[in-house]
Amino acid sequence: MTANERTRSTKRPPTSNVGATLLGATALVVVTVAVSWFAIGGLYGGCVGCGSQAAPQASTTSSTTSAPVHVYLTIVNTAAGADQYLPANFTVPANTQIDFQITNYDNGANNLSGPFWNVSGTDGGTETIDGGMPGTPQGAVSQLPYGFASHTFTIPSGPQTLNVIMPPAASPTDPAVVTFSVTFTASGTYNWNCMAPCDPASMASPGFMAGTITVV
């Protein structure tokens, strides 16, 4: 923990006003870091999208800012027939490994234009697939073959871009699960879109096949 190291390395007898001032400033920094971390934790509890599928390890992320933060997203086809990411808008910390898990219950296949068949912007340049329609490549992949896309999770522009592909589910009750890690090195607002022509209304609607990642 950086704050603890800073506390240890600057601990010294208050032999002068300068020393006292330094200690006071150090205490302020430590308090500020701690308050900031708990404020961030309050935003998403160290885990985005944790509901019934909350991971037990999520509760351990408050001990250090360098522990991975878990984000769980689900793709559903709503009762009204709309394709939707849940949640579509969320907040994560900067300079922290974000472990995404996207569970796709949509068994519809869609086409992609050339570059979007390739995984890009993830740690290691791969995504890991578990399940999906018959024939879906399993394990870590850097691209998917034609015919094996249902949706993408894409940050098409900005300081840091991203493209991962979600293969179709085997059935509406047997999802495809995709995991990957991303480390956002700059705070700010990142707009993401699905680049597969899955559902024109959803693609044009923030909160469905488009959304916002807020990096703080």
Residues lying near Cu ion in the complex (CB under 5 A) are found at 151, 194, 196, 198, 209
Smallest distance from Cu ion to CB 124, Å: 24
Cis omega (within 30 of 0) for bond into 87 = yes
Q: In this complex, which beta carbon is closest to Cu ion, that of residue 26 or of residue 118?
A: 118
Take residue 65 and report the two structure tokens written for it. Answer: 């800012």
Q: In this complex, which beta carbon is closest to Cu ion, that of residue 181 or of residue 193?
A: 193
Maximum Cα–Cα distance for the chain, whole Å?
73
Q: In this complex, which beta carbon is closest to Cu ion, that of residue 99 or of residue 106?
A: 106
Smallest distance from Cu ion to CB 168, Å: 11
Q: How many CA atoms lie within 13 A of 153 on its CB side?
A: 31
The full DSSP string for 15-73 is -SHHHHHHHHHHHHHHHHHHHHHHHHHHHHTTEET-STT--GGGGGGGG-TTS-EEEEE
Q: In this complex, which beta carbon is closest to Cu ion, that of residue 70 or of residue 151?
A: 151
Smallest distance from Cu ion to CB 163, Å: 13
Q: In this complex, which beta carbon is closest to Cu ion, that of residue 45 or of residue 87?
A: 87
β-bridge mates for residue 33, sequence order:
none
Smallest distance from Cu ion to CB 166, Å: 8
Smallest distance from Cu ion to CB 24, Å: 53
